[in-house]
């Protein structure tokens, strides 16, 4: 009887672990995706680097909509370069994160990433590079408000015209060519 009970307990435990949809792993940040809203992580498997794009759960990367507001190709390229440099001051390429793959989207995984000290979503919102999509996290909303008030990241004077266009639909003012 004890053997049957033990076998059933083992079967139930393995079945519950098999049904878990969340997958965790340690991966290194490789850079931004081509779409500007996804982050690319890499992990090593069978002596090869595997890359996967990851959209952070319930988070909107502000600069992803820059192409709608900046029509000049040179200006857009300049903006992308400055933006990536500013973003890499917050999240450095090569830094390792615990990545939780929550769901498989069309173009990328939906995931959450953190290191032992902090959560990547909270870091990006607090630095002013992202805004929460839903208002289910008071911590993210508070961090977004503080970043806006302190003019950090995309809310800084350097990026304000683009951010205002993306978030509020206000067109970017034309620069005077006469100056």
Q: What is the pLDDT of residues 47-83, one digit of tens each?
A: 678 888 999 989 999 988 888 888 888 998 999 899 8
In 28-179, where does DSSP find H-type helix? Answer: 66-69, 73-87, 120-126, 138-150, 160-168
Look up the CATH architecture of domain 21-168: Beta Barrel (2.40)
pTM for this model (two decimals): 0.79
Please give the Cα distance from 14 to 25 (Å, whole number). 20
Place of tokens 């929460």: 132
Please give the Cα distance from 102 to 95 (Å, whole number). 21
95 and 115 in contact (C-beta within 8 Å)?
yes
- What are 128's two structure tokens? 């002013």
Q: What is the pLDDT of residues 129-148, one digit of tens each?
A: 999 998 878 999 999 999 99
Please give the Cα distance from 133 to 121 (Å, whole number). 12
């Amino acid at each position: 009887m004890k053997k049957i009970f033990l076998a059933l307990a083992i079967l139930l435990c393995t079945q519950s672990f098999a049904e878990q949809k969340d997958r965790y792993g340690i991966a290194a940040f490789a850079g931004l995706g081509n779409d500007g809203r996804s982050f690319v992580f890499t992990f090593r498997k069978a002596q090869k680097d595997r890359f996967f794009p990851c959209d952070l759960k319930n988070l909107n990367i502000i600069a992803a909509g820059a192409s709608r507001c900046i029509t000049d190709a040179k200006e857009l390229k300049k903006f992308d370069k400055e933006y990536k440099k500013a973003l890499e001051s917050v999240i450095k390429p090569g830094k390792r994160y615990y990545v939780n793959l929550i769901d498989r989207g069309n173009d990328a995984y939906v995931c959450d990433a953190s290191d032992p000290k902090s959560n990547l979503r909270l870091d990006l919102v607090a630095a002013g590079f992202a805004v929460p999509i839903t208002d289910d996290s008071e911590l993210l909303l508070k961090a977004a408000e503080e970043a806006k008030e302190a003019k950090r990241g995309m809310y800084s004077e350097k990026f304000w015209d683009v951010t205002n266009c993306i978030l509020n639909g206000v067109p970017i003012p034309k620069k005077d060519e006469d100056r």
